[in-house]
Amino acid sequence: MRYFQKLLFILLLSITQLAHADDGYRLWLKFDPIANVQQRNSYAQKCQFIYSDNQEVIIKTAQKELQAGLTGLLGKKILILTNPAGKKGGIILQIIQNEQTNQLAEDGFIIREENQNIVIRSRSASGVLYGSFALLRQIQSGSSIAQLNITDSPKIKYRMLNHWDNPLGTIERGYAGSSLWKWYELPEVIDQRYIDYARANASIGINAVVLNNVNASARFLTKEYIVKVKALADVFRPYGIKVFLSLNFAAPKLLGGAKNSDPMAPEVRNWWKNVTKDIYSAIPDFGGYLVKANSEGEPGPQDFGRTHADGANMLAEAIAPYKGIVIWRAFVYAADPKGDRFKEAYKDFKPLDGTFASNVLVQVKNGPIDFQSREPFHPLFGAMPKTPLAMEFQLTQEYLGFSTNLVYEAPLFKECLESDTYSNGKGSTIAKIVDGSVDNHSLTAMAGVANTGSDRNWTGHLMSQANWYAFGRLAWNHSLSSELIASEWIKMTLTQEPKAVATIQDLMMKSREIYVDFTTPLGLHHVMGQNIHFGPEPWLEKSARPDWTAIYYHRADSVGLGFDRTAQGSNALGLYSKEVQAQWGNPDTCPLPYLLWFHHVSWNKKLSSGKTLWNEFASRYYEGVKSVEWMQKQWNSVQSSIDPQIFADVSGRLAAQHREALNWRDACVLYFQQYSKQPIPRPYQAPTRTLDEMKEIVRIYQLK
């Protein structure tokens, strides 16, 4: 009998593996049978059944997910019991309000072994769902579940994805296919992907999604589209996810026939109230609105001489009766030929601190320019203590090599979150401003601009799945380390072979710095191809606005390189606290990663590395390219531990990355050499291609 059971298991194992020659669709939720029999049996002993006396829809989801996950992992069907009748060795899901659970945040959970059962306990159904996924994660990644005693609460209330998806199915800055949302099929057709998307999000604690692009079409506010949005909300609700919409501020005029969209006009205010009522009567738990206003040509309250707060508060008033929220973006930068884009958002928003309604959050990008591969933190963090500030990170790799480059973003997110603003004394980190603890806000949010699309593996580059995963984990708990998150993800997605896990983790951890080195070392920024933001274009001198060119930012001349943002220059540094100014203000002590962000440095200046600026700068490009070769070698070394389809796909993308790195290197060293007038430092060889050849490659990239 035992022999047949064993045979059956081996058969099951190979069938599952064959059936899933891995195309990456299952993300980190693979649940393939655990190969180690001893380990599998020890888990199986503690997970013999699932039971809850509560039948809320989200609890049912938790049960279903546990059942599917455990059945896959343990290779046998795990039953959901309706009456455990004193049985031991199972998983009990429990919603309860008591002293213990009252200590938790709303979505928090406790997992403990009690009376020989594993109890997942929370005061909310969503907490139980997150606890269930946490238990699965323990088992998936091969961790022990003996004497479990986990207490976990999210640090942020709204952990959200922002989709920049357009109604016709394109995605602004999307590199993984088309939009997941098939608006023309909705509400009648429910694609399985909607459900799988919700599962993936719930598994990492994401509880809110903005469905459409911040450059918003007004059509989402029509009755025809509200039913489509409702259909998605109905799919996401069992996974604890609320839907939000991006608004077009001119909608009252565009759709409602109003004279204009002045937020102070009674007719306009009423229009928003009516639309909001329509939305809530279809979707009672609708989350709220996200707004990009008076930015990059989008309409907004300033069109009528009103402030951002006037606009936000009008919407806040309309949505308050339903407990909805308004998230107002601070990504604004009026064109000022003599100014510094770095300072624009601060100029507009800082004076408005304290004037926003209590259900408004202001959403600020991590840095002051626009999701560059490295930015100093945005100076608005710490400057608006009376306003809850939401963090906006970008998962989609607009400036990080699209889906051909391997860039693990957790270190980038962490670098920002751990930056100290000193706004309320030492330790006033961005993380603590965003989680509300520095300024005492309970309304908190962290948003990631989604990197998902219709590609079979969701994110184009399979390794970019890790960025979605890492964002969710950090939005839940910003104190998790990038290393830990990477290793969780690798073990669930790629392999559990210890040496391979360590190799891939190391490669991921170094990947962002490598990308910085071969594209924009030492704090160089915004020198990418102007239209598509791919590849180098440091020679870009003319654009519709000066702050869309490259020369505006790098300021290369015969003397040196970099943007002087000290008091002698634009004084953007003056927007930070004096401690931060001290950190970055002196070119002799400014850490090299930020040097060219704040200083115009002479080509011959000796840096802390011992090399001159030119030599260090040029060397970084060469070393960056060599590091991509190292990444390829490391990846090759794990071949035997990785699914062949995934291995081949990532190998191909690394080869593409190498080609791109060479383009960046040759274009940048040749272009800047015109100013430094110095040879390529030894031992590196000068590029064999000319600057004109490089310009031609980039020109072709930008052709329509």
Active-site residues, by number, are 296, 370, 398
Q: How far is the CB of 364 from ligand GCV (least distance, A)?
A: 11
Q: How far is the CB of 250 from ligand GCV (least distance, A)?
A: 16
Q: Kindly tell me which of 398 and 488 has the beta carbon lying closer to ligand GCV.
A: 398
Q: How far is the CB of 253 from ligand GCV (least distance, A)?
A: 21
* CA–CA distance, 379 with 576 (Å, rounded to integer): 6
The answer to the question of residue 172 lying near ligand GCV (CB under 6 A) is yes
* CA–CA distance, 301 with 262 (Å, rounded to integer): 6
Q: How far is the CB of 159 from ligand GCV (least distance, A)?
A: 19
Q: How far is the CB of 295 from ligand GCV (least distance, A)?
A: 6
Site for ligand GCV in 310-369 (CB under 6 A): 331
* CA–CA distance, 656 with 397 (Å, rounded to integer): 15
Question: Given the rule CB under 6 A, which of 15-23, 137-145, 207-215, 507-515 is the region that contacts ligand GCV?
Answer: 207-215
The answer to the question of residue 164 lying near ligand GCV (CB under 6 A) is yes
**Single residue of 173, 237, 242, 554 touching ligand GCV by CB under 6 A:** 173
The answer to the question of residue 548 lying near ligand GCV (CB under 6 A) is no
Count of beta carbons in the 10 Å neighbourhood of residue 239: 23
The answer to the question of residue 228 lying near ligand GCV (CB under 6 A) is no
**Which tokens belong to 702?**
């930008």
Q: Kindly tell me which of 173 and 599 has the beta carbon lying closer to ligand GCV.
A: 173
- Considering only CA atoms, which of 537, 531, 536 is closest in space to residue 515? 536
> In this structure, which amino acid lies at residue 384?
M
Q: Kindly tell me which of 396 and 428 has the beta carbon lying closer to ligand GCV.
A: 396
Residue pair 612/506 in contact by the 8 Å Cβ criterion: no
Question: Given the rule CB under 6 A, which of 209-217, 406-414, 440-448, 521-529 is the region that contacts ligand GCV?
Answer: 209-217
Question: Given the rule CB under 6 A, which of 208-216, 255-263, 506-514, 618-626 is the region that contacts ligand GCV?
Answer: 208-216
Rounded to the nearest 5°, which phi and psi values hold at 64? -65, -45
Q: How far is the CB of 331 from ligand GCV (least distance, A)?
A: 5
Q: How far is the CB of 487 from ligand GCV (least distance, A)?
A: 31
- Considering only CA atoms, which of 398, 380, 292, 391 is closest in space to residue 344? 380
* CA–CA distance, 109 with 128 (Å, rounded to integer): 6
Q: Kindly tell me which of 396 and 421 has the beta carbon lying closer to ligand GCV.
A: 396
Rounded to the nearest 5°, which phi and psi values hold at 49? -155, 170
Half-sphere exposure of 282 (CA within 13 A, CB side): 21
Q: How far is the CB of 365 from ligand GCV (least distance, A)?
A: 7
Q: Kindly tell me which of 530 and 678 has the beta carbon lying closer to ligand GCV.
A: 530
Q: Kindly tell me which of 372 and 627 has the beta carbon lying closer to ligand GCV.
A: 372
| Integer angstrom CA distances of residue 255 from 228, 248, 252, 319, 700 | 18, 10, 6, 19, 40
* CA–CA distance, 644 with 322 (Å, rounded to integer): 51
**Single residue of 104, 214, 508, 638 touching ligand GCV by CB under 6 A:** 214
The answer to the question of residue 163 lying near ligand GCV (CB under 6 A) is no
- Considering only CA atoms, which of 208, 230, 234, 239 is closest in space to residue 281? 230
DSSP state of 425: B
| Integer angstrom CA distances of residue 454 from 199, 531, 641 | 16, 23, 27
Question: Given the rule CB under 6 A, which of 62-70, 176-184, 212-220, 235-243 is the region that contacts ligand GCV?
Answer: 212-220
Window 379-418: contact mask with ligand GCV (x via CB under 6 A): -------------------x--------------------
For CA atoms 308, 310, 311, 317, give the dihedral sign.
positive
Residue pair 416/424 in contact by the 8 Å Cβ criterion: no
Strand order in the sheet with 117-122: 79-81, 49-52, 91-95, 117-122, 109-114, 149-152
The answer to the question of residue 370 lying near ligand GCV (CB under 6 A) is yes
Q: Kindly tell me which of 172 and 234 has the beta carbon lying closer to ligand GCV.
A: 172
The answer to the question of residue 292 lying near ligand GCV (CB under 6 A) is yes
Question: Given the rule CB under 6 A, which of 145-153, 211-219, 383-391, 487-495 is the region that contacts ligand GCV?
Answer: 211-219
Q: How far is the CB of 370 from ligand GCV (least distance, A)?
A: 5
Q: Kindly tell me which of 80 and 532 has the beta carbon lying closer to ligand GCV.
A: 532
**Single residue of 42, 215, 477, 543 touching ligand GCV by CB under 6 A:** 215
* CA–CA distance, 126 with 202 (Å, rounded to integer): 9
- Considering only CA atoms, which of 159, 166, 81 is closest in space to residue 117? 81
Q: How far is the CB of 254 from ligand GCV (least distance, A)?
A: 19
Residue pair 43/74 in contact by the 8 Å Cβ criterion: yes
Residues near 451 by beta carbon (within 8 Å), at least 6 away in sequence:
174, 175, 176, 395, 396, 397, 459, 460, 464, 467, 468
Question: Given the rule CB under 6 A, which of 117-125, 210-218, 545-553, 652-660 is the region that contacts ligand GCV?
Answer: 210-218
Q: Kindly tell me which of 214 and 416 has the beta carbon lying closer to ligand GCV.
A: 214
Q: Kindly tell me which of 42 and 215 has the beta carbon lying closer to ligand GCV.
A: 215
* CA–CA distance, 352 with 293 (Å, rounded to integer): 15
Residues that bind ligand GCV (CB under 6 A): 164, 172-173, 213-215, 292, 296, 331, 370, 398
